[in-house]
Amino acid sequence: MPDILGIILWPFRWVIEALLVGFHTALTALGMNPGDGWTWVLSIVGLVLVVRAALIPIFVRQIKSQRKMLEVAPELQRIQAKYKGKRDQFSREAMTRETMALYGKHGTSPFSSCIPLIAQMPVFFGLFTTLSNAAMGLKGIGLMDLDLATNFGKATIFGSAPLHSAMSTANGNMAVIWVAGVMVVAMTASQFFTQRQIMAKNISQATKESATYRQQQVLLYILPLVFLFSGFAFPLGVMMYWLVSNFWTMGQQFVVIRNMPTPGSEAYAAWEARQLKRNERKGISAPVVEEAPEEPKQAQRQQPVGKNRAKRGKGKK
């Protein structure tokens, strides 16, 4: 059987090597020591910056598709009212189905889609392969020649923590265990902060009332375990990629919450207030749009009552 994964990863590995070597050469030219682990760490940071910058369009598109969520809110409430109090699996599934059909009809969705989730995976595993091959003294498949590979494979930070070792392969090397431990804590903290930030400020009231939101909140408490496991299994160099990528997400989220908040959220109200103030300063009076709250419709159809029955009913009272 051909190595399908290897074939898929090949172009990613080539580009990763090219970027790492490019940044490493540039940093060396700027006067950094080519054998120093930190030069390689900064090269990994460079790799993150390039990859995440390339992913910005996906992210922007994602936010834009969430903007129309406010339009579907009334219909969403109707569905929620229809299934109110129905907790059995069948009704839950029917409700999810109807909700998703509604999103599809309007071409909006609170969900980010599956591709962004796996878009970084080949980069992650490509870096993993590049690093472990370098640690074994193998030259790369592209621009990383034997000298650079050996150099990368031997690179250490804090004196004795090699970039290619993980907690599981530390063999009692305390420097590795400490660095990995600190990174796990930093990753957990950044992830936690990002999620909290989104949940506290950038979620519309309609989403807050959904079941998925509650499920998402439970995640906050599972993630540290995931990071602990990865700190155990993945080498420091790969963890470094992940950590910096997490920081990028945090910064990106901050900008988004400030400048492109989800309509109907707390951050959106703050953004509107800022816009209003700015307009006042410029002397533009913004038209005030007021929306009348819609009367909740009854989910159950009123049974038609015949003339005679209606009369009888009155008579009894």
Partner 1 sequence: MCDHLFLVPRNLFVGFILGWRRAISPIYGNVCRYYPSCSAYGLGAVQQFGVLRGGVMTGWRIIRCNPWARGGIDDVPARMDGNFPLSRHGFVLPKKKEH
Q: Which residues bind partner 1 (CB under 8 A)?
A: 58-59, 61-62, 65, 96-97, 100-101, 103-105, 107, 109, 111-118, 212, 215-216, 218-219, 222-223, 226
Residue 64 Cβ, how far from partner 1 at the closest point, in Å?
8
252 φ/ψ angles, rounded to the nearest 5 degrees:
-60, -45
Q: Which is nearer to partner 1, 227 or 248 (CB)?
A: 227
Measured CA angle at 195 (ends 191, 199), to 5 deg: 170
Residue 310 Cβ, how far from partner 1 at the closest point, in Å?
41
CA distance 27 to 36: 11
Is residue 236 within 8 Å of residue 176, measured between CB atoms? yes
Name residues whose C-beta falls within 8 Å of residue 317's C-beta, 6 or more positions apart in sequence.
Answer: none
Residue 215 Cβ, how far from partner 1 at the closest point, in Å?
6
Q: Which is nearer to partner 1, 121 or 174 (CB)?
A: 121
Q: Which is nearer to partner 1, 220 or 276 (CB)?
A: 220
Residue 112 Cβ, how far from partner 1 at the closest point, in Å?
5
For residue 161, list its beta bridge partners.
Answer: 157
CA distances from 113 to 59, 61, 63, 116 (A): 11, 11, 11, 7
Q: Which is nearer to partner 1, 6 or 104 (CB)?
A: 104
| Number of residues in the chain | 317
Residue 82 Cβ, how far from partner 1 at the closest point, in Å?
17
Eight-class DSSP state of 292: P
Q: Which is nearer to partner 1, 222 or 288 (CB)?
A: 222
